[in-house]
Every structure is written in C-alpha cells, then in structure tokens.
C-alpha cells in the first residue's frame, strides 16, 4: 500500500506549553488507523494539525496578539508538503475532519445540512454522496426533514460524519466519534466506519476508549503528553498489557 499521509517530527507549542512532542504517524491508502490516548494526550491537537485548523488558530492569535502558537515538523499528503496549507485547501485535496461535537447548522434540517456540505461539488455528485450517507445511516434518511438541533447526540454525530463524507474525503479524520454515545450506538458507528472504508476512504480515528473500534482497525498509535509511546498492528496492541489496561478496560 502507498503512503497517503506522513507526519514527521511534529511539534506544536502553545506559548511555552508543548502539545505535540516530536510526533510521527503514517497512514497508508485503504487503512483504518487509530490514535489512542487519554484526555489531554494531544489527540485533538494532532487532528487540528493534520486538518489545518491549527494554522487558522495560529493566524487568528497572531492577528490579535494572543497565545503564541508554534508549529514545526513535516506533513506530506500524497507526497506533497501541506503543513501550512489552510483547511479549505486541504479539503480540496481530500483531507476532511469530522470533529467531536462537529458544528452543524442547528436551524436547518438534516437534508439541508448535507446539501450545504456539498456546495463546492457538482450537484449530481452531492446527490450521490447524500444517498451514500443515507445508506450508511438509515436513521438520518428517516429524519431528513427534522431540524438538526432537535436530533439526539448520537444522531448529531452521524450527521457530522455525513457532512464530512459529502465533502468527498480521500482521508477522513475522525476525532473521538464515539465519545458520549451508548454502547449500542458505539457498535453501530464502528460498523459504519468499516463500511466507509469500503467506499475507498482511508480513515484516521482518535479515541480514548478503544474497545469498540479495535475489531475494525489495521494499526494504532498510543500517545501520551503529546508523545508517541507505542505503535503496532491491531494484534500487537491487543497483546500489550499496558494498552489493554489503559484503553481496553482489561
């Protein structure tokens, strides 16, 4: 498999606080790769760095003289350096982030939210992607005329993932998609993630509690305090006693 995304020696500072410390990760085309870590381990900072949101944050802080953000290292996507590209430029190249508690248009219905996500794409393509989302998440099809703000937490998470999918990702970044969901919804969403990969979409997903996603991943990285502490295949993660204790509840 070809390397799709490669992050090398990423360093992110907020003033003098080190959020990512010499962190390197790699994602090959067609993989589902997990980044596991406790709260404040650096997972969201990593996703913001990969998606480009950190670049936007840095520009805003620089303009208003706020927190000094420093970004260092290398990030290549399909062999092209993208570390300082804007988020919109990365979306055009195929890097799309689905955030935990992703912002949705609460006063618009489900279908309108999905159509808005495809505004940069041809209408026929957007229609096809929306059909794919409804196939993945049949509950959203049933709720397509419901205002997004009236959806349950789990339904909003499905919609957030659907919005990201309509943007036609080649690499889908998912930041803690299972957080706060019931065990049944977590299992449903894990199955959906596997189906998303079947649509030729490569996936990098972060999670605190790994058990629901462990059956579907190919490889994983464990991050603590912004540093890589362990990496391996799914079986290597499952065989590591520290990983089992910290992230699998075993």
Question: Domains along the chain?
Answer: 1-94+173-182+208-250 (3.40.50.300)
What was the pLDDT predicted at 224?
A: 95
How wide is the angle at C-alpha 50 spanned by C-alphas 114 and 2, nearest 5°? 95
The one-digit pLDDT tens for each residue of the chain (250 residues) are 799 999 999 999 999 899 999 999 999 999 999 999 998 899 999 999 999 999 999 999 999 999 999 999 999 999 999 999 999 999 999 999 998 666 788 899 999 999 998 877 788 889 999 999 999 999 999 999 999 999 998 899 999 999 999 988 999 999 999 988 889 989 999 999 999 999 999 999 999 988 999 999 999 999 999 999 999 999 999 999 988 888 876 5
Q: What is the pLDDT of residues 15-59, one digit of tens each?
A: 989 999 999 999 999 999 999 999 889 999 999 999 999 999 999
pTM recorded for the entire structure: 0.94
> Do residues 173 and 50 touch, judged by C-beta distance below 8 A?
yes
Q: Are 31 and 219 contacting, i.e. CB atoms less than 8 angstroms apart? A: yes
Residue 153 has what pLDDT?
87
Q: Among candidates 169, 230, 173, 207, which has minimal Cα distance to 43?
A: 207
Residues 6+ apart with CB under 8 A from 24: 6, 7, 8, 9, 10, 228
Residues whose CB falls within 8 Å of the CB of residue 7, separated by 6 or more in sequence, listed in order: 23, 24, 25, 26, 46, 49, 50, 73, 74, 75
pLDDT at 180: 85
Distance of CA 221 to the CA centre of its chain: 14
- Phi/psi-derived region of residue 169, left when phi > 0, alpha when psi is between -120 and 50, beta in every other case: beta
**Tokens encoding 6:** 């490669």
* Pair 142, 133: CB distance under 8 Å: no
CB 7 within 8 A of CB 23: yes
Q: HSE, CB side, 13 Å, CA atoms: give it for residue 184.
A: 1
Q: Beta strand 95-98 with 171-175: parallel, antiparallel or unpaired?
A: parallel
User: Cα separation of 125 and 182, whole Å?
Assistant: 33
């Amino acid at each position: 498999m070809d390397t799709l995304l490669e992050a090398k020696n990423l360093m992110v500072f907020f003033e003098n606080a080190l959020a990512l410390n010499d962190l390197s990760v790699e994602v090959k085309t067609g993989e589902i790769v997990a980044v596991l870590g406790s709260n404040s381990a650096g997972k969201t900072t990593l996703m913001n760095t990969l998606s480009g949101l950190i670049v936007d944050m840095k520009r805003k802080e620089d303009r208003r003289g706020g927190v000094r953000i420093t970004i260092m290292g290398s990030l290549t996507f399909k062999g092209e350096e993208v570390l300082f590209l804007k988020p919109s430029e990365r979306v055009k190249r195929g890097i799309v982030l689905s955030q935990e508690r992703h912002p949705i248009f609460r006063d618009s219905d489900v279908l309108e939210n999905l159509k808005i996500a495809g505004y940069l794409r041809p209408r026929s393509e957007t229609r096809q992607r929306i059909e794919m989302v409804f196939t993945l998440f049949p509950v959203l099809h049933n709720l397509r005329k419901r205002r997004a703000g009236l959806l349950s937490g789990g339904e909003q998470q499905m919609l957030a993932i659907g919005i990201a999918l309509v943007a036609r990702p080649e690499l889908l970044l998912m930041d803690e998609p299972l957080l706060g969901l019931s065990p049944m919804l977590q299992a449903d969403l894990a199955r959906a993630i596997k189906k998303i990969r079947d649509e030729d979409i490569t996936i990098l997903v972060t999670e605190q509690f790994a058990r629901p996603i462990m059956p579907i991943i190919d490889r994983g990285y464990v991050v603590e305090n912004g540093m890589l502490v362990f990496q391996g295949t799914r079986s290597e993660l499952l065989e590591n006693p520290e990983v089992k204790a910290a992230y699998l509840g075993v």
